Structure 1
């Protein structure tokens, strides 16, 4: 969830100073977009995976500090709740056999981490929401030790002024309240990063928004929350509600939520950052001593730390990222709408589908986003999250179409073309996109498999059925056989 910060209290003066600094950051960023040399010669891609921890019975294991000590690998980090950890896969060039390297690194790291964590009775699971989470796991005492998380929870609750209410209607209904943002920790994701030049950023972001529904339909993997069967990708409504700083009155006034699909196609990366500053007050108004203009005019690269921290507390499903490395400043789109799993192969297949399709759509002669309204893309997104592999979505030139048919007939050929432009070998393209193809042909993704297995245990207590299915899921996860082949 971003960089570490110290626990602290903020005064009105802190907030005023921070607002002024963020706006100065934004002015300098605008100048950099006009003048600075961003690192764009050979774009890289990256991957982060958030994982859940369970005990031998399949119940949540609130032991991430012990697990990380046992794993002893800097690529693994804490996440919001004690039943979460995150792994960062080093960035790669896709033309250098990058997808294969991602798969090998992720598989090797997870095998090693599982072996080490199992020694203390904790196991790693790649799934969007742990089906065995119960109300007792979502209290404030489940927050990880990093002070950032408790501070962020306090600031969101203070801005809201009341407990967070979760209401989700799907196959079943859920209504509950929370006195912290720990329910957000139930949402674990895979984050795909694609580096772009400033002049290409808008196309890649718009393309990512346009294809989000297709990604969700074929990759849904979070059908249960607190014992209820809800949406096929329940992470979407849960995350939108669990970090909502608005009470009912602000919602009625049309105040924008911090978990946000957006409201329009953009023309520049500046649009996203400027909207974040204009619409959303700072949750963590921490100000450093850097003078970004002085750094820029002296030939350096400003960190723009206030702008970056603020950007990290506006949770767009496709997030704009400004970062600085030894090679200089760069921009990237962070695609963060999918759950991980069910297997490493499924996860990397999702990555291949995204990286290929987003490049094909972004670089097409006639932009897809010129052919459909933004509201249609947003509606597609939520329909796909609710219905998963069975979703019917709108597509330009086709109208309403089943997502699997759209993927098979149109989007997979485009993804192949995009991966070819990235320099991905034909055999790698065929193997990974073949996983997506087979999911569509079988009508099976992680969510569909899990629901089917739980329903097959309909004579059992629901929690017993969820535990038994999760243990079966975890076993099959380690086989690395893609989910469409499990049955």
Structure 2
């Protein structure tokens, strides 16, 4: 399947048409105003007996026959979608149980291991080639369009504890990046508050949740996934970078005043990658009293990879808006993952409620710098915060953000004992300065100290990681040997 120039012209017109319809829906108050509904997606890696990637997701999905599991970009990836729910009461515990049940069923049927981790440390460049894309036509189309837009090889150059330079003819290296996404439904008139708050805390989030220190055998950033995702999907050759063209993996460049700002930026700044047209005329649907699908706008929005993405969706015949928080890696355990979720939902809710919002005091550039500092240094990062100046992220979380998380979860009506159980995981992680990234690097250092080569140490570490993941004990309690 290819796209003719006329397809792109028609698609651009249709996306603009959808954007105009979206604006009318906002003006007319067409959206569901209920807030507090949440969603959760986990990306999972498949590994073989030697701790290498198992290119078998099609086979595993056929065995599972479970719509909660779907393909992801690489043949060694799966995605698990939990049914949306409110977090009031024991909603977060219900998530934990539902995810545990799904993972247990999958483990019983799959004849390879399922691992929640930000980046498989045993991947090699030979694993991340075009032939190992999942068997889904849209992935191939996306690769062809992005590679065509780039016009040359994708280059990765990551300066971390060590340095990695590599090139690829395809976007397949993106498959190394496995994450968790938190979804939060919010009313349209308050969307900007929740998105701005999400941007403001992205740095602390990624710092305390970092779980991706190794790629291709090199120790790089605490959360190398951030750097790799930004570089492995960059469709801009050097001349477009110097002209100020925005990257498709984008933190953004300003605080917003409306959700419309984000959709309009996506349409204005980014050319379409997949100009697939639908028959729907959204204004005809609106005139008939219906809810338009806005397929072209949604597809285009899905090819702009904001770390906090706006989502338009329809549930039970009513349109709604969500913030999709995409900054965190997968794993290490379900209890760690749910602790990260509680921290995110709680802090963002409290920040969104405050009379003097954080985004009126924190420069946007500082929020962006905090994000990359957290990805580089992880739990050892230093950040800028209003009223605190330069502050260690662990101190920022413990003294400033955790009290806000408690208050925000109380506003959602989360059971106090569950609130305390999950946020104590975050507090202890910061108190001990131990997260998934530090555990991985400590284990590998000890293994190499015993005489193992780096590849052998990474394989042993990943086997041990998988074993400890099954215990569902927080990563800060894991032994490093």
Give the TM-score normalised by the residue count of structure 2: 0.98
Deviations 1:116-169 (A, max 9, x none): 11xx2x110000000000011011000000111111011000001011001100
On the 8 A contact 2:34/2:186 being kept in 1, the answer is no
On the 8 A contact 1:58/1:470 being kept in 2, the answer is yes
Instruction: Give the secondary-structure state (helix, strand or coil) at the position aligned to 1:379.
Output: helix
Q: Among residues 136, 140, 144, which one is paired with 1:150 in the alignment?
A: 140
Structure 1 Cα separation of the partners of residues 180 and 40 of structure 2: 7
Q: What corresponds to 2:71 in structure 1? A: 78
Q: What corresponds to 1:467 in structure 2? A: 459
2:193 paired with 1:200:
no
Structure 1 Cα separation of the partners of residues 30 and 36 of structure 2: 14
Structure 1 Cα separation of the partners of residues 287 and 147 of structure 2: 40
User: Unpaired runs of 5+ in structure 2?
Assistant: none
Structure 1 Cα separation of the partners of residues 366 and 259 of structure 2: 22
Give the TM-score normalised by the residue count of structure 1: 0.97
Structure 1 Cα separation of the partners of residues 78 and 426 of structure 2: 27
Deviations 1:421-452 (A, max 9, x none): 00101100000000000100111000000000
Structure 1 Cα separation of the partners of residues 34 and 274 of structure 2: 34
Q: What corresponds to 2:30 in structure 1? A: 37
Structure 2 Cα separation of the partners of residues 468 and 380 of structure 1: 33
2:478 paired with 1:486:
yes
On the 8 A contact 1:260/1:315 being kept in 2, the answer is yes
2:88 paired with 1:98:
no
Give the CA deviation at 1:43: 3.2
On the 8 A contact 1:393/1:402 being kept in 2, the answer is yes
Q: What corresponds to 1:224 in structure 2? A: 214
On the 8 A contact 1:39/1:327 being kept in 2, the answer is no
Instruction: Give the secondary-structure state (helix, strand or coil) at the position aligned to 1:95.
Output: coil
Q: What corresponds to 2:358 in structure 1? A: 368
Structure 2 Cα separation of the partners of residues 448 and 484 of structure 1: 9
2:19 paired with 1:26:
yes
Deviations 1:287-334 (A, max 9, x none): 111010010111000000000000000000000000012140000000
Give the CA deviation at 1:42: 4.7
For residues 158-177 of structure 1, what are the structure 2 equivalents within 5 Å?
A: 158-177=148-167
Give the CA deviation at 1:71: 1.6
Instruction: Give the secondary-structure state (helix, strand or coil) at the position aligned to 1:457.
Output: helix
For residues 330-409 of structure 1, what are the structure 2 equivalents within 5 Å?
A: 330-409=320-399
Q: What corresponds to 1:477 in structure 2? A: 469
Q: What corresponds to 2:408 in structure 1? A: 418
Give the CA deviation at 1:352: 0.4
On the 8 A contact 2:36/2:412 being kept in 1, the answer is no
Structure 1 Cα separation of the partners of residues 438 and 69 of structure 2: 29
On the 8 A contact 1:392/1:400 being kept in 2, the answer is yes
For residues 284-299 of structure 1, what are the structure 2 equivalents within 5 Å?
A: 284-299=274-289
2:42 paired with 1:52:
no
2:256 paired with 1:258:
no
Structure 2 Cα separation of the partners of residues 406 and 280 of structure 1: 35
Q: Among residues 290, 293, 311, which one is paired with 1:321 in the alignment?
A: 311
2:296 paired with 1:303:
no
Q: What corresponds to 1:271 in structure 2? A: 261
Q: What corresponds to 1:5 in structure 2? A: none
Deviations 1:233-266 (A, max 9, x none): 0010100011111001111111100000000000
For residues 103-114 of structure 1, what are the structure 2 equivalents within 5 Å?
A: 103-114=96-107
Structure 1 Cα separation of the partners of residues 40 and 372 of structure 2: 24
Structure 1 Cα separation of the partners of residues 18 and 34 of structure 2: 25
Q: What corresponds to 1:434 in structure 2? A: 424
Structure 2 Cα separation of the partners of residues 324 and 432 of structure 1: 31
Instruction: Give the secondary-structure state (helix, strand or coil) at the position aligned to 2:235.
Output: coil
352-361 or 91-100, which moves further after superposition? 91-100
